[in-house]
Structure 1
Amino acid sequence: MTDLLTSIQAALGLPRTPIPFTSSGALPSAFAVTDLACASMAAAGQAISELLHQQTGRLPPLEVDRRLASFWFATSLRPIGWSVPPLWDKIAGDYETHDGWIRLHTNAPHHRSAAEQVLGHCFDRSAMAAKVARWAKSDLEHAVVEAGGCAAEMRSWQQWLAHPQGLAVNAEPLIHFTTNDGGASTTWQGSVAQPLTGLKVLDLTRVLAGPIASRFLAGMGADVLRIDPPHWSEPGVVPEVTLGKRCARLDLHDATDRAVFETLLKDADILLHGYRADALERLGYGTAERQRLTPGLIDVCLNAYGWSGPWQNRRGFDSLVQMSSGIAEAGMGWKQADKPMPLPVQALDHATGYLMAASAIRLLAERLRCGRGGSARLSLARTAKVLIEHGAGTDEPLRAENQDDQGLLIEQTPWGPAHRLHAPLKITGTPLQWVLPATELGSHRAQWW
């Protein structure tokens, strides 16, 4: 745990201060998933603590509960009398080709359409399996990606280390920070209880890392406005990740909506986006244009496979990066299974989300000091390297020091009441607390409060 935490602290420019972790045990996995959960949450908490130290002279202590951190890396919500829709499309998943395994990601309708453009229409997994079995894994991965879909063949860590994209992303820093000369307000409007009060966060992210980041920022008092395209839906994760936010829709191909978006961006303090590296540029909102519209903007960017190399513009998700980078192959060996074995939770997404939040807070602290904006770039594949190189976890089961640690916080959501688990991160005097319950996408107007 110490090595993992100090690596993350170094990447964020945080003091290498020990942070206590309460309770014990870990999620069963080939890798130290619970350690990653605790370290990434601790880093976000430490970024807040250091911000408070800078603004008030007081450095509040913090701690992370290992058991609760593990739960939050799966889901923090326990519905009462209703169910969250399935996370996966019916034909999404791992399939055996004639020379190995491949994963197809078909949750979005256009991604499923791309896969079926290559393989033909399939009503169920058995029909899809029969079609996939005729292919070589590399050929199928290439064909689906070329069609605009999402797929990843299973590689080992050694194969990933030798792959052109693996070589590229593994040479990148965990977090790439840059600063710009744009001027911005240097007045802190927050408080010890809500350090990010007064900050406007424009959230353009979707499943799953970016929404985790903005959920954390909302829990620290920020005004988070999430923007989705007109018809986007992700019902399996919305109740989990919209906590504390307002959610609106805009079509950035429509002139009227673009004008609304630009008005929002001009007033934003922080922009979170998880588009592929070239996507905002193609929409006319590249780095230079964002800085022109919003001098002093804090710009936090995420992609799947990194910011250099042949795959920097490739579509990707946590489950695909696990296949590409050797995580699923290592899990297969660890479990002595006959098929890929991913992590027990989407740990790359969750951990990268907390690192995005920590990056935004570190850039905010710099802006308050110097009046300069800045940017941070992160990727799921680079987070994977940190997890893999940290090594194996423990098989010790999760145990609570306090049997009431799950809590019974009632949240009234649009789908019905639910229990929300207590937050794993505790900062003395600065509780994670959300004013707004989770909500449907598109349920608010595209405007700041």
Structure 2
Amino acid sequence: MKLLQKMCDTLPAFEGNLYIDQISFRNRNIGSEDVFSVTELAANSIALAGAALIQYAFGHDALDRQIIVDQRLSYFWLGSSVRPVRWSLASPWDDLAGDYQTQDGWIRLHTNAPHHRNVVCKILGDLDRAEMAKQVETWSGAELEDVISSEGGAAANLMSTSMWNSHPQAIALSKEFPIISEMFEGTKLRHVINPSIDQARPLKGLKVLDLTRILAGPIATRFLAGFGATVLRIDPPLWDEGDHVIDITPGKKCATLDLSKCADFEIMQKLILEADVMVHGLRADALEKLGLGDEERRKLNPSLIDISLNAYGWTGPWRNRRGFDSLVQMSTGIAQHGMEVSGLGTPRPMTVQALDHATGYLMAATVLAGLNQLKTKGQAMSAKLSLAATAELLKSTRKDKFGGTSPVKAGSDFLPDIKQTSWGNIQRLKSPIMFSGLDMHWSSPAIRLHSSAPMF
């Protein structure tokens, strides 16, 4: 319960202590092949989102409701929730992505997006993996990391926890709240949350504008859609996420806008005005450069619940640095600790992308806490989260030996009904969280990106 208590304490506008006794966990002895308690992180973050949901949906009556979280299913939801029926998912990784040895250690190159791969090839050459490895060996890790990042690419030099703790970005992060929040008084609010809530679908009618991509933000909005929210995801033209899309788009609409075009920019302004919630995971300065910074969004919609995410934190020299779960693991000492315990001499990240998934549920919990604050006190909320802050939560569960064998999915872990999608038929994992009278399910199957009109 220590980790859950920490999470409750980080969540703004949420009296977590009132709900801890209502949360019970099944299959507590489920471990994983990791040197951190990733199953505990998963189950606790899902539990927190559930507690924030019932607080918003049921008010004082929420204290009579039990929340049950299955730790086995929680672990599985750290990966894909999809089971293809007689077809297979493609690999989520580009052929050049992964760990490479440098002059003085290791670096991870993230090349899944075409523009990130192009940066790496521009600097190191358009090479196959073996030749790329030879080129990387001629660089120091920190130097190559900086060059790739300065060119708009994504890479992370392997650091130990002590190296990270002395890094200027870690020092800046240590001075931030894990979730940075700001409240706005209700006198200027345009939107008022309807006090009459459908208790079976408590987020029905809620409009969520989703400007997030791989992977934490889409997990947050998938959770919200699972309880009735209308989620409109916006991507730039030609953006693709491969077979990740089937996992994270059920219950959503997926549209396209090019914000460099005046007409599309005006549509985005109208969507912000109409939305109840906006969730975005762009670099810290990206919306500001487009003319949609914090102040501009708040002027457009004073009652907006505005939740943003970045990789490394909101102050310090890396606030605008591109980052992903696997890169933050390299930077913050997680992969190095795994390497040290394994004794294999190569980076040993977690077996799952726990930072992305846990942060997604923390984002969902923050949205719901903000909605409750708006409903009960007439205050709107903005909040900022980061993968690096979630990494610090995980690192508090550090162990000095591997946790054993990870559980393996069985047919009984999936819902029996088969859903039709444009990729093929699928089954989806059973919900990891259970309430009396509430069921997580989606009003529509997963859809492809760029397939909807940009309207709620």
| TM-score, with length taken from structure 1 | 0.96
- Map Cα deviations across residues 145-165 of structure 1 (whole Å, 9 max, x no partner): 111111110000111111100
1:367 partner SS: helix
Alignment-mate amino acid for residue 142 of structure 1 = D
Question: 1:156 aligned to 2:169?
Answer: no
> Which residue matches 1:76?
81
Aligned match for 1:142, one of 135, 141, 146? 146
| 8 A contact 2:207–2:276 mirrored in 1 | yes
Cα distance in structure 2, aligned partners of 1:299 and 1:327: 30
Once the two structures are aligned, what percentage of the paired residues are identical? 45
Alignment-mate amino acid for residue 7 of structure 2 = I
- Map Cα deviations across residues 248-271 of structure 1 (whole Å, 9 max, x no partner): 111011111111111111110000
| 8 A contact 2:251–2:442 mirrored in 1 | yes
Listed as ranges, the gaps of 5+ residues in structure 1 are none
- Map Cα deviations across residues 113-161 of structure 1 (whole Å, 9 max, x no partner): 1111211111x21111011011111111111111111111000011111
> Which residue matches 1:419?
427
Alignment-mate amino acid for residue 26 of structure 2 = T
Aligned match for 1:240, one of 230, 241, 247? 247
> Which residue matches 1:174?
178
- Map Cα deviations across residues 385-409 of structure 1 (whole Å, 9 max, x no partner): 0100122287354679x99343323
Alignment-mate amino acid for residue 33 of structure 1 = V
1:352 partner SS: helix
Question: 1:30 aligned to 2:32?
Answer: no
Shifted more, 387-396 versus 77-86: the winner is 387-396
Between the two proteins, the alignment pairs up a number of residues equal to: 445
Aligned match for 1:197, one of 200, 204, 216? 204
Shifted more, 182-191 versus 112-121: the winner is 182-191
The 5 A counterparts of 1:199-348 are 199-348=206-355
Cα distance in structure 2, aligned partners of 1:394 and 1:25: 13
- Map Cα deviations across residues 294-342 of structure 1 (whole Å, 9 max, x no partner): 1200000000000011100111111100000000001112222221011
> Which residue matches 1:116?
121
Cα distance in structure 2, aligned partners of 1:113 and 1:189: 51
2:382 partner SS: strand
> Which residue matches 2:439?
431
> Which residue matches 2:453?
445
| 8 A contact 1:408–1:421 mirrored in 2 | no
Cα distance in structure 1, aligned partners of 2:218 and 2:41: 18
> Which residue matches 2:372?
365
- Map Cα deviations across residues 19-52 of structure 1 (whole Å, 9 max, x no partner): 2110131221010000000000000001012123
Cα distance in structure 2, aligned partners of 1:217 and 1:286: 24
Post-superposition offset of 1:56: 5.3
Shifted more, 191-200 versus 81-90: the winner is 81-90
Cα distance in structure 2, aligned partners of 1:276 and 1:27: 32
> Which residue matches 2:110?
105
Aligned-residue Cα RMSD (Å) equals 1.7
Alignment-mate amino acid for residue 146 of structure 1 = S
> Which residue matches 1:42?
47
Cα distance in structure 1, aligned partners of 2:404 and 2:149: 40
> Which residue matches 2:6?
7
> Which residue matches 2:134?
130
Cα distance in structure 1, aligned partners of 2:450 and 2:241: 12
Cα distance in structure 1, aligned partners of 2:326 and 2:294: 28
Cα distance in structure 2, aligned partners of 1:409 and 1:378: 35
> Which residue matches 2:91?
86
Residues 332 and 167 (structure 1), Cα distance of their counterparts in 2 relative to 1, 3 Å cut = same
| 8 A contact 2:55–2:62 mirrored in 1 | no
Alignment-mate amino acid for residue 429 of structure 1 = G
Residues 394 and 147 (structure 1), Cα distance of their counterparts in 2 relative to 1, 3 Å cut = closer
| 8 A contact 1:248–1:444 mirrored in 2 | yes
| 8 A contact 1:327–1:342 mirrored in 2 | yes
1:191 partner SS: coil
Residues 160 and 311 (structure 1), Cα distance of their counterparts in 2 relative to 1, 3 Å cut = same
| TM-score, with length taken from structure 2 | 0.94
| 8 A contact 1:27–1:33 mirrored in 2 | yes
Listed as ranges, the gaps of 5+ residues in structure 2 are none
- Map Cα deviations across residues 347-369 of structure 1 (whole Å, 9 max, x no partner): 00000000000000000000001
| 8 A contact 1:50–1:59 mirrored in 2 | no
Cα distance in structure 2, aligned partners of 1:189 and 1:272: 24
| 8 A contact 1:53–1:60 mirrored in 2 | no
Shifted more, 17-26 versus 284-293: the winner is 17-26
